[in-house]
Amino acid sequence: MLPDRACCPTDYSARSNAAPARTYYPLVTPVRHGLPTGLQTATGLPPEPPVSRSMPASAAVSVAPALAPSAPLAPAVPVPVPAPTSASFGSGGEGSSSPPQGGGTGGADSGSSLPLGGVAHLAVLYVAWSTTYLAIRVAVRAGSGFPPFYMSGTRLLAAGPFLLLIAIVLRRSLRVSRRDWGTIVGAGLLLWIGGNGLVTWAEQFAESAYAALLIGAMPIWTSVIEAVLDRTWPSPRLALAQAIGFAGVAVLTIPELRVAEGSDLLAVFALLVAPISWGAGAVLQGRRKIEAAPLASAGFQQLVGGFAFILIALAVGEPAPDPTPVAWGGWAYLVFVGGLAFVSFTEALRLLPTRIVMTYAYVNPVGAALLGWWLLDERITWWTVAGAALVVAGVAGVFRERYAKGPVKR
């Protein structure tokens, strides 16, 4: 969001020595704010001076203090945008990876054409993270022979070293500070045990399409958590987006609550709690910036979650795993495709605007529902369609508030 011209007048007198004065006619004078450089040049206007903007770690909409009216304009100097330093890995659509806070432009200027490499990485996210709910369902459904916590634990204990190996191959640092370890452990437990763990347990009884659509509301829960922590009311547009998203959750949930009982009922509640835990982990990691490389932090985070899952499996007395070949296939898919998708996630954030990368949050729940219907013959009713549309609309509204405010310097 650009500062309003009324509250932030621009003193162009400082440019009197730089160029001769031009005469502009009121009836044809365009508004410069928000115009791409090409349009500014075409209209004969001088380039817009750089505006310093920032956004707090909570990613709430906020504008930095305006420049003093009497302050001279600094020369336009390109400011390099650093690559993201931390992200929480969602093992593909099962929750959501937390983007770099601040809602910036990622690696590419939103006004330029998108690089082909970044688009290719985004396509990998669309496909890979739309299929992980399906893989979880295949791995833990009745008769698979894979208890949910053993499946999650062994999966993460394999995926963590796999990501660290990728980091070594790509020559990324594995160094983690003592402060980072506290964040990695705390966020890892919220993301993997409270988030992914509840989803995996619930998918013993719930269809993957249903799980994906409920977890797809995670960004909406995250915006509520941030508002509570900041003790601020959301803007009217953000509140409307949240209301629409929660209406979608209700449309998806109420028909199931009417007929569910026993384990099926517990699975519905688990899928309602999981995105809250995942959102809390994302907020924690977003507010306590991790300085370690993303691949390193994600790898160690998964190791923390893996060991915790094994302890839980032992504590609740899960039987020893005896997976079917199909269940092993789902497990392997989660380990390797999920790991490679995270590499694409970090590269997409480096090459593309953040708000473009985050479109996976719209695509993945719908993609997962369609794949569950197509491959596993899962139900899609009019309730499902209506609920999915409301959830996706709510997520789109939340992201519009967070990322569609123009380039932000991070």
274 burial level (CB within 10 Å; 0-12, 13-18, 19+): buried
Distance CA 286, CA 57 (A): 6
Distance CA 283, CA 275 (A): 12
* CA proximity to 218, closest of 98, 368, 383: 98
* CA proximity to 49, closest of 66, 29, 63, 28: 66
The phi and psi torsions of 280 (rounded to 5 degrees) equal -65, -40
Handedness of CA 209, 213, 214, 216 (dihedral sign): positive
- Give the pLDDT confidence score for residue 402 in this predicted structure: 76
- Give the pLDDT confidence score for residue 39 in this predicted structure: 41
* CA proximity to 217, closest of 265, 272, 269, 135: 272
CB-based contacts of 70, cutoff 8 Å, min separation 6: 11
Distance CA 75, CA 371 (A): 53
| Alpha-carbon dihedral 62, 63, 65, 71, rounded to 10 degrees | 170
Scan for tokens 């998708």, then name that residue. Answer: 341
- Give the pLDDT confidence score for residue 405 in this predicted structure: 53
Handedness of CA 299, 60, 287, 229 (dihedral sign): negative
pLDDT under 70: residue ranges of the chain: 1-112, 403-410
User: What Rg do the C-alpha atoms of the chain give, in angstroms?
Assistant: 23
Distance CA 165, CA 158 (A): 11
- Give the pLDDT confidence score for residue 89 in this predicted structure: 39
- Identity of residue 288: R
- Contact yes or no for 119/356 (Cβ under 8 A): no
